[in-house]
Structure 1
Amino acid sequence: MLLSFLNNKGRQDEDVDRLFRNQLLWVLLLRVILYTLLLVFSSFFQESPLSAIYFIRQDFLLYLLIIVVTASCFSSYSLLSGEKNLIQFCYLQIFLDTVFASLLIFFSGSVNTTLTSVYFFPIIAGGLLLPYRGGLFAAAAVTLEYGLLLALDLHALLPLLPDTKSGHTTIDITTGLNGFAIHGLTAFLAAFLSRIFGKRLQSAEIALKDSKKELNRLTTINKQIIDNIASGIFSVDGDGVITSANNAIEKITGLNPSTLPGKNIYQVIPGIDLDTKKIRHTIDFVKDTGIIRIGYTCIEIHSGDNRSDNATRPDMIINLRDVDQIESMEKQARQKEKLAAIGMMSASIAHDFRNPLTAISGSAQVLVDEFSPAEQDGTNHELAQIIVREAERLNNRIGDFLKFSRPENISCQWFSLAGCLEEVIEVLQINPNWSQTVKVSHNFKPALDVWGDQNQLFTVLSHLMQNSMLFCPQGSERIHVCSKEITTADNSEMLEISVADNGTGIAHDGLDKVFDPFWTTRVEGTGLGLAIVRQIVEAHQGTVEVSNDGLMNPEGNSGALFTVKLPIPEIDS
């Protein structure tokens, strides 16, 4: 903290030093301009009626101007080369200005010349540069030097004017004392006034410097805030030209924000509408990775004088947001509402239908045992079997509803993936709906273990393999299960399990809907099997995806490929 304070103080001292040097340079320049103008005016009024006021020997004035210019050049060189003690340097320049003014009066030949007003230059300059002592120092020097000139005039030691024929006219002592008092009082009064203006100017400069520093600080903070906002922000003028863009623009649109200022907003975001009165708008934006949905809002900036003459609208702030994520969240919210409704419905179904179904199934099973397949051509026996089968199917559907609407809590442990797959195949093979021509292959280490709930992951593999079998060509069904460990972009370890088939694949418009509840392409399907798969996988903090990159089918196309990724927990050493 101390180092930071010293650095800030050092920067402030450098700023003050640079400002003071610039002011001194301006004083030196004004000095040269003043004496140059005196030479010009003296030459211009040489033969005019005002010659008595402005007259001074041209050679003397020229020599004085050369001295002034030479002294100013040396002073400027010393100042620019790094003069260390600026206060002493300032006092020296104030004193030189009083001396130059006294020489000017001396060579004019009279202390009553109007050129005595030149004394105000060092007094005012001293009061502005050094408000506390500079003006008083100049006033004291001017008073003493003018008193010396009065003394020289009393003793007739001032040079004669070239056209004076009757000798030098001197002043008496009373007139001299009166002039000394008046000029001294005037000099100190000017010094006090310049001191007041100098202090106010210094205070104004300090306040302006602090305001500038605060403005820069607030500008930096505002820029950092805007650059770290997740929403993309454009500012455009009344002609639609972009004046600024934050960093989030690149994340949303893929455009480099540093290249956008100066471009027209209609070229950068085609289809954007700045004239509509709607509060929120949405448009499709073509990005390198595809088409995304963008939402935007427009806010007018009424800043007064910053509009161009030809502008058709006020300056505006445009707030962009990728609404794909918002729409996904809304979809999830609707999904949760739907699940809540399913939960209430499934509870009612379980209560109202399961007990009667159990009674129907049990009674039908008794009838199956009593009726002989040969009796009445086996019609009663066949009908009783249909009742048992359909009651069991309804019972399974109710079970799917319950499983999806009220998922069980997971209990993770390590278990063998090969052992789980063997159990799944055994259970599927005794299912009457499972084709006996299905060939299941796998590619993973026999000793590979999985971290998760074995019963629920059993359900995942069972649903995926049943779904694959239903779309495979009859008589040549092939299902391949593969597993491997992968490393994600954030360096986390995951287990990837993929189930591929040689079926017909999934239509392009169904890839995004296949895991949605109740979405199915089969008449007898409920659309809950794959929804249960995603629910179980997400409960394990994993992901499940689908693509048409499976096994080749007889038609020369690829079947479906379901990929499940499950996190691998770190094992404490």
Structure 2
Amino acid sequence: MMNGHPVPAQMDSDLLHEAFRSFDDAAATLQQSYQTLTSRLEQLDVELADRNEALRKNLRVNEELREHLTAIVESLSTGLLVMDEAGTITRCNQAGTQLLGLPHEQIIGRSLATCLKDAHLDGDVYPLTTQQGAAVSLSQRALQTSDGRQAGSLALIQDVTAMRELEDRLQRRNRLAAMGEMVGRIAHEIRNPLGSIELFASMLRRDLHDAPAMRGYAEHISSSVHMMNRLLTNLLLYTKPDCSHRERHETEVLMLNALTLAAHAVAGARVDIRLDVNPLASHMWCDAGQMKQVLLNLILNSIHAMPNGGTLTLSARPTAEATSGGAGICLSVSDTGIGIPAAQRSRIFDPFFTTRDEGTGLGLAIVHAIVEGHRGRIDVESEDGRGTTFTIVLPNHHTTSPLPIQASPDLSFSEGYPASELIAERLLVGEETSA
């Protein structure tokens, strides 16, 4: 020191120490900041990895949800079409393409009106009818976002054929029930005076044995009364078929008995007869008398439909179709006749509807009533000039052993030819039967 003041060298050393100390402090602070930044960066990396994993998980969930919703949309039996704000179809599910009857590429990118016109569904009759004959309904509504903005529209095309058939069947049943009640009352009212007419006609026949001409008039009266009684019996059978005596019977025997009853019609027709009874349908649960009536009416209809000859086929097979009694049996009566015109098929089971001048129009109505009385159903398929098939599906209960039925007595023609022998002649057996 000089005169109490530090020398320059000492001052430089102090300054240098101070500088190093400041540098060390700054370096320590920088090191701490670096460590803090590194720690934060590692934390951000972890958070980013967690968020990326969450995002990937959300993407997987969204993809699975999209695939699930797509599967639901594609599996719908209702056609679904999505349109944008301009009315252009942007999406159509499989049912939509099937109901429209157009390829998928001819639907996407076009307007709904154009597609309906191409599918011939632009008529004014509701429900609309496809080229395949199915009845479809069309409904359309706007699509909106969560904030209320319009985001295009949605069209639904639904096959309502079965629903319309059920509605028609219900209307028909209600209509026929009212008609049947009225007919039943009238039939009962007419039967009483017919009984008196028959009584007095029999008395006249007895008292006019010495007047053959007058006795003939009385016999004509009795004959007409019997004919009226048969008609009334059919009317009452239609209104209230008695199917309460159901037992297990041999299917083939029922068919042969019905054929024997129809022998008078078979005699004058060039008709071959085939029987095809599946062994699993060898027995059926029914009212034998009523079922023979059903088969007889269907056989007679088939014979009348083959004026130039043909083949009549009676078949039976088991069916897994659900019926009110569980497993069912399916009976079919087919012919190769003239067929039923399409315009008449919806009315053939209506009472008093007939296309023959001599018919009463009750045969198929009675068949329908008896089948429904057995809790079954009857359908018809026909093609003009190719033939007709009536199919009956009935519940088929099972018991431990079959109850045999009595064969119908042989019917004879005026020449004395047994009906059963005629049926045997016309019956195709062996290999041909299984065809």
Pick the TM interval, shorter chain.
Answer: 0.5 to 0.7
2:92 corresponding residue in structure 1: 245
2:71 corresponding residue in structure 1: 224
Matched residues in 2 for 1:480 and 1:403: separation?
A: 33
Report the alpha carbon displacement of residue 262 of structure 1 after superposing the two structures with TM.
4.0
Q: Trace 1:3-402 onto structure 2 (pairs within 5 A).
A: 172-191=19-38, 194=41, 197-198=44-45, 200-255=47-102, 257=104, 260-270=107-117, 282-286=127-131, 290-303=132-145, 314-342=151-179, 344-345=181-182, 348-349=185-186, 352-372=189-209, 374=211, 381=218, 384-385=221-222, 388-389=225-226, 391-402=228-239
Amino acid at match of 1:319: L
Report the alpha carbon displacement of residue 507 of structure 1 after superposing the two structures with TM.
3.3
Q: Trace 1:547-558 onto structure 2 (pairs within 5 A).
A: 547=382, 558=385
Which digits, 9 at most, give the CA deviation of each residue in 1:445-487, with x for residues without a partner?
89996645332331123213444566776xxx85753345779
Amino acid at match of 2:66: T
Matched residues in 2 for 1:249 and 1:201: separation?
A: 45
Matched residues in 2 for 1:203 and 1:452: separation?
A: 70
Matched residues in 2 for 1:178 and 1:561: separation?
A: 108
Correspondence 1:521 to 2:358: no
Report the alpha carbon displacement of residue 534 of structure 1 after superposing the two structures with TM.
4.0
Gaps of 5+ in 2: 1-15, 322-326, 401-435
Which digits, 9 at most, give the CA deviation of each residue in 1:422-459, with x for residues without a partner?
53136xx4xxxx79845664244899966453323311
Structure with the bigger percentage of strand: 2
Amino acid at match of 2:86: D
1:106 corresponding residue in structure 2: none
Cα gap change, 1:519 to 1:170, in 2 (>3 Å): farther
Amino acid at match of 1:228: S
- Percent identity, please: 21
The answer to whether the 8 Å contact 2:201/2:219 transfers is no
Cα gap change, 1:232 to 1:411, in 2 (>3 Å): farther
Amino acid at match of 1:545: V
Cα gap change, 1:545 to 1:195, in 2 (>3 Å): same
Amino acid at match of 1:481: L
Matched residues in 2 for 1:498 and 1:325: separation?
A: 24
Cα gap change, 1:306 to 1:254, in 2 (>3 Å): farther
Matched residues in 2 for 1:271 and 1:282: separation?
A: 17
The answer to whether the 8 Å contact 1:240/1:266 transfers is no
Q: Trace 1:416-565 onto structure 2 (pairs within 5 A).
A: 416=253, 419-425=256-262, 429=264, 437=268, 441-444=272-275, 451=284, 453=286, 454-468=288-302, 480-483=311-314, 497-498=332-333, 500=335, 506-522=340-356, 525-536=359-370, 539=374, 543-547=378-382, 558=385, 561-564=388-391
Cα gap change, 1:382 to 1:399, in 2 (>3 Å): same
Matched residues in 2 for 1:323 and 1:544: separation?
A: 19
Equivalent pairs counted in the alignment come to 373
1:413 corresponding residue in structure 2: 249
The answer to whether the 8 Å contact 2:277/2:317 transfers is no
Report the alpha carbon displacement of residue 527 of structure 1 after superposing the two structures with TM.
3.0
Matched residues in 1 for 2:56 and 2:213: separation?
A: 110
2:411 corresponding residue in structure 1: none
Cα gap change, 1:522 to 1:367, in 2 (>3 Å): farther
Please state whether the residue corresponding to 1:240 is helix, strand or coil.
coil
Matched residues in 2 for 1:247 and 1:353: separation?
A: 60
Which digits, 9 at most, give the CA deviation of each residue in 1:109-135, with x for residues without a partner?
xxxxxxxxxxxxxxxxxxxxxxxxxxx
The answer to whether the 8 Å contact 1:487/1:493 transfers is yes
Report the alpha carbon displacement of residue 281 of structure 1 after superposing the two structures with TM.
6.6
The answer to whether the 8 Å contact 2:238/2:369 transfers is no
The answer to whether the 8 Å contact 2:319/2:329 transfers is yes
Cα gap change, 1:408 to 1:238, in 2 (>3 Å): farther
Matched residues in 2 for 1:548 and 1:172: separation?
A: 113
The answer to whether the 8 Å contact 1:543/1:565 transfers is yes
Amino acid at match of 1:414: E
The answer to whether the 8 Å contact 2:100/2:115 transfers is no
Matched residues in 1 for 2:276 and 2:44: separation?
A: 91
Amino acid at match of 2:225: V
Matched residues in 2 for 1:188 and 1:479: separation?
A: 103
Structure with the bigger percentage of helix: 1
Which digits, 9 at most, give the CA deviation of each residue in 1:509-545, with x for residues without a partner?
2134323444323567553311332454574857543
The answer to whether the 8 Å contact 1:364/1:388 transfers is no
Amino acid at match of 2:168: K
Matched residues in 1 for 2:353 and 2:142: separation?
A: 45
Matched residues in 2 for 1:347 and 1:377: separation?
A: 34
Greater relative contact order (Cα 8 A, min sep 6): structure 1 or 2? 2
The answer to whether the 8 Å contact 1:235/1:242 transfers is yes
Larger Cα-atom Rg: 1
